[in-house]
Amino acid sequence: MDFQTLLKNRRSIREFQEKEVPLSILKEIIQETCLAPTASNAQPCKFVIIQNRGFLKRLSDDSKQSLLSDLARNPESPLKNYEANLRDGNFNVFYNASCLIYVIGPKNIQFLDVDCALTVAYLMLSASSRGLGTCWIGLGAHVRDPKILGEMGIPGDCRIVAPIIIGYPASIPPASDRHAPDIVKVI
């Protein structure tokens, strides 16, 4: 697909078909994703792929529980906007997507958030070029149960940076509004 068309066509997708994404395609996408630049070419990003529905629900539930604890400690946090959802037993932070990719990395990497975000941009575009939709689910990053983290093979020295849901879109929403580029100054 032509790059400019791809940029214009990519959307954040939160409604998916039931159809699973073949693992071979997920691996192709991750391979392309690893072409992203990282600070000092450290390539710190690692990936966990979750397609098991029961496991996805456990991740959603654990993340919700962590966030409600955070909110109890800090009632004025922006999380209060999500409180009703977090308390709703039927709300799945991953929007019932059939696949989640966690982008994780070592806690001691200085620019880990930036490295992972550059990588995620590639992941989103690579997925979109294959007709797949994605969305970065910030609420899904707060899994803290050591048992669950262990089952995912996430080492103790790593943290989850980016939970990305991925799947075949149920429909393509209109492009979200964009303000004009804010060019502060040209010197």
β-strand partners of 38:
none
Site string for its own copies, 118-157 (x = CB under 8 A): x-xxx-xxx--x------x-x------------xxxx---
> Does residue 174 touch its own copies according to CB under 8 A?
no
How many CB atoms neighbour CB 176 within 10 A? 7
DSSP-H helix ranges across 106-154: 112-128, 146-151
> Does residue 97 touch its own copies according to CB under 8 A?
no
User: Nearer Cβ to its own copies, position 90 or 176?
Assistant: 176
User: Nearer Cβ to its own copies, position 68 or 152?
Assistant: 152
> Does residue 108 touch its own copies according to CB under 8 A?
no
Name the DSSP letter for residue 75.
Answer: T
What distance in Å separates the CA atoms of residue 84 and residue 9, rounded to the nearest whole number?
32
> Does residue 95 touch its own copies according to CB under 8 A?
no
What distance in Å separates the CA atoms of residue 183 and residue 163, rounded to the nearest whole number?
31
What distance in Å separates the CA atoms of residue 101 and residue 49, rounded to the nearest whole number?
5
Burial of 19 (0-12, 13-18, 19+ CB in 10 A): exposed
> Does residue 27 touch its own copies according to CB under 8 A?
yes
Q: Which residues bind its own copies (CB under 8 A)?
A: 1-4, 6-8, 10, 12, 23, 27, 30-37, 39, 41, 43, 45-52, 55, 78, 104, 110-111, 113-118, 120-122, 124-126, 129, 136, 138, 151-154, 176-179, 181-187
